[in-house]
Amino acid sequence: MSHLDTPRLTFAGRFLSDVPTMNNNAESFGSPDPPPPGWNPYGGGTFDLLACKVTGGERAPGEPLGEGDPALGLNVLTGQDQVAAKLVDLDPEWPASSEIWGLTIRLAGPRGDPLLTGRHWAAAFRDLWPRGGFERDFPMMGACFTSVLEDVTYGPAAAAVPLLAELRERSPDRLSIAFTMYGISAQRCTAAFATGELTGCLGPWQPGEPRSFVAGRRLDMGALTPETAFGRSVAVVTGGRLVLDLGNAYPFFDTPGSAHPLAARLDVAVLPDERVRAGDVLAPGAAVTEIGTVALRPKLPPSGIVSLPLTRQAASKPGRWRCSSPRPAGEGAGACCPGRPGTASTSGRTSSSTAWRPAPAPRSPCTPASAARPPRRDHPPPARPRRAVRADRAGLRRDRPRRHGHGDTAGGRPGGPAPPADEGLEGEVQRILAPYARHFPIMGEHLVDLGDLAAVRPWRAAMSLALSRDITDPNHMPVTRDLSEPKRATLLRWLNSLPAAPRGLGRAAPPPDTRAVPPEPKLAVARGLADRALHPSPHPSPQPSRDPSGDDRERRLTPDQRVAGLDGNSEGRRRVHQFRVTFTRLLSALQRCVDGSPGRLDAAMGIMFELKLAGQRLAATPAISGGLPTGRHAGPVFTRADINQ
């Protein structure tokens, strides 16, 4: 039944979304004018969870976690030894449904004990809508992600957490997960810049369930006033209870996350007739089957998840909801709002997860030979459906409804032109990379100008590593996930034709070796370095540590004193912490390499470039002390940090 089934846990915190904004205007791809910078022109696409912890949950229907439950307060983290996940747009003409790629979710105990790890299946956010108010002059938008965690593994310590033990028994390999995000800040020089609020829910997944939506009932609660609307919510019936996900449904008033006073209470009921539509006013005395009341003020339910018991009368009605027939008489689900007495809203025709079945499909896609279609000359061929990036993908799209952009759908197939001949290869590479150089200036500012092929050549190995990875791999080049396979093959073909770069950049990676790495002197040095950084002594010795191989250079890692004067609420302080987290991920990847997993060297290489970017962006961030610029810039701190604050 998805993340709304039991056992489930809820969590909350903040998120980092360092999205680039110069690629948001599709028209600028074909224009000689500089692209509009947007609010974050030098964004790198990094997505991360910030100080997220478990806040609640249910082990069984109607049995919330009690005070002192070992699941409460667990840390919800991202990958430990890989590059950060990326939030990217696959199409500049469709930036309202960004996708998270390369995300790994972990649960860890207070001491860092690994409890659960899973790979987040890439999914786009949906139900983007203005929730009301502003966050530092930035519209307070909200959206939600629904996906699954694949390749789930549980640590030995998970057995000591009853909810996780039951979750493992119920759904050992795959879990359902949902995020709600809102209130991202565009205020530069503050610690909140490019961050926002996040709530989430994690629950079981059953075979046959969809991966990117809940097979339940989508509810539309209409509007409180002409200026204040509700967003969409979803409901399922499980264990004799109605479970509602209201995390992205209620409007804000002034503070992010605070429900509007007119939405302080929601009365949930089964409406008498499906002819009732969102925003309709029920006649006095209309027969509704009451289910319960949800209080959203003064305190919100954890992650907006609400579980209400069903009476026998109410429980008998949802079973008759169907979506298989056009418009039969049936029941609707809705909520009566006290803001305007006598008003009600409905979800219209809703789907029942108990009656939902996938439509039968042919064994293989085919077109009958008798199917005749006249040629169309009013559209470009499928290989070039878009002007912006020269038709990387041919796809199918349904236009968004006017209100809030709900119901976005898109599908695609690989498209693009045929591979160029050898004599035209370099010119085609130049045409492919030039838009990325203009619309992702962070690359040219801190790494390499993608529009200058002479500058790209020394980066042959790094570019080959990034472009040859599967699109789901965290090491895949984040700004080129919208490339078609023919274009990616064209770039790789050109890169492979270049001579090997000096200083080891062009060396081919050795074949995977599962044997333990021998304790050579330099590997012993790396092991010692990683061990000291990942497990620092609470009382560091004043004497510098020595290289076991005989090199007397100091190896001890000490904090950079430049951080001492930075305001805690400054962008510089946050970027310092982001640098520490990235540095810790690099050390973790190196630790695995020297411990017998040389295949993790690719991950370490990707983190090295990420660390370089983080350090250079940190060095370009003004230092703020006492609320005023000091005239200096922030600097990196080489210490361990597991949790991104």
pLDDT of 24 strictly over 70: yes
Lowest mean pLDDT across 63-77, 128-142, 291-305, 347-361: 347-361
| Residue 349 pLDDT | 33
**Per-residue confidence at 363, pLDDT binned at 50, 70, 90?**
low
Distance CA 426, CA 453 (A): 9
Cα angle vertex 123, ends 248, 107, to 5°?
Answer: 80
Distance CA 432, CA 60 (A): 54
Mean pLDDT for the stretch of residues 550-570:
52
User: Token pair for residue 146?
Assistant: 């629904």
**Per-residue confidence at 563, pLDDT binned at 50, 70, 90?**
low
Q: 118 in helix, strand or coil?
A: strand
- Tally Cβ neighbours within 10 Å of residue 378: 4
User: Token pair for residue 373?
Assistant: 């279609």
| Residue 545 pLDDT | 36
- Tally Cβ neighbours within 10 Å of residue 59: 19
What's the pLDDT tens digit per position in 400-419? 443 444 444 444 444 455 66
Q: 368 in helix, strand or coil?
A: coil
pLDDT of 519 strictly over 60: no
Burial of 505 (0-12, 13-18, 19+ CB in 10 A): middle
**Per-residue confidence at 384, pLDDT binned at 50, 70, 90?**
very low
pLDDT of 95 strictly over 80: no
Lowest mean pLDDT across 219-223, 359-363, 534-538: 534-538
pLDDT of 149 strictly over 50: yes
| Residue 631 pLDDT | 73
Distance CA 578, CA 459 (A): 25
- Torsion sign (Cα): 466, 469, 472, 473: negative
- Residue 126 near residue 408 (C-beta atoms within 8 A): yes
Provide the CB-side half-sphere exposure for 70 (13 A, CA). 15
Distance CA 40, CA 194 (A): 8
pLDDT of 521 strictly over 50: no
Cα separations in angstroms, 489 against 88, 332, 342, 386, 432: 21, 51, 61, 20, 12
What's the pLDDT tens digit per position in 154-164? 999 999 999 99
User: Token pair for residue 276?
Assistant: 């009732």
Report the residue count for the chain.
645
Lowest mean pLDDT across 97-106, 205-214, 308-317, 341-350: 341-350
| Residue 76 pLDDT | 97
What's the pLDDT tens digit per position in 601-618? 888 888 888 888 888 888
Question: Phi and psi (nearest 5°) for 517?
Answer: -75, 130
pLDDT of 116 strictly over 90: yes
Mean pLDDT for the stretch of residues 68-75:
95
| Residue 203 pLDDT | 96
Q: Which residue has the higher pLDDT, 260 or 389?
A: 260
H runs (alpha helix) in 478-595 = 485-496, 521-534, 571-594
Mean pLDDT for the stretch of residues 233-259:
86
Average pLDDT over the chain, rounded to whole?
A: 75
Q: 396 in helix, strand or coil?
A: strand
- Residue 97 near residue 124 (C-beta atoms within 8 A): yes
Mean pLDDT for the stretch of residues 165-186:
93
pLDDT of 102 strictly over 80: yes
**Per-residue confidence at 531, pLDDT binned at 50, 70, 90?**
low
| Residue 333 pLDDT | 37
| Residue 141 pLDDT | 87
Lowest mean pLDDT across 116-125, 552-561, 584-593: 552-561
Instruction: Please state whether the predicted TM-score (pTM) of the whole model is above 0.75.
Output: yes
pLDDT of 308 strictly over 60: yes
| Residue 360 pLDDT | 56
Distance CA 54, CA 24 (A): 34
Distance CA 460, CA 463 (A): 5
Residue recorded with tokens 């400054």: 570
| Residue 405 pLDDT | 42
> Domains of the chain: which residue ranges?
1-211, 215-356, 422-496, 521-633
Contacts of 111 by beta carbon, 8 Å cutoff, 6+ apart: none
pLDDT of 551 strictly over 80: no
Rg of the chain's alpha carbons, rounded to an integer?
Answer: 27
CB burial string 153-176: b at 16+ within 10 A, e below:
ebbebbeebebbeebbeebeebbb
Q: Which residue has the higher pLDDT, 322 or 243?
A: 243
Mean pLDDT for the stretch of residues 473-499:
82
Cα angle vertex 100, ends 389, 50, to 5°?
Answer: 135
Distance CA 16, CA 78 (A): 12
**Per-residue confidence at 57, pLDDT binned at 50, 70, 90?**
very high
Cα-Cα end-to-end distance for the chain? 33
- Residue 295 near residue 264 (C-beta atoms within 8 A): yes
- Torsion sign (Cα): 511, 517, 522, 526: positive
**Per-residue confidence at 448, pLDDT binned at 50, 70, 90?**
confident
What's the pLDDT tens digit per position in 189-238? 888 899 999 999 999 998 888 999 898 888 888 888 888 888 899 999 88
| Residue 15 pLDDT | 95
Nearest to 302 by CA among 250, 235, 247: 247
Distance CA 531, CA 535 (A): 6
Question: Phi and psi (nearest 5°) for 223?
Answer: -130, 145
- Residue 138 near residue 185 (C-beta atoms within 8 A): yes
Distance CA 261, CA 245 (A): 19
Mean pLDDT for the stretch of residues 115-122:
95
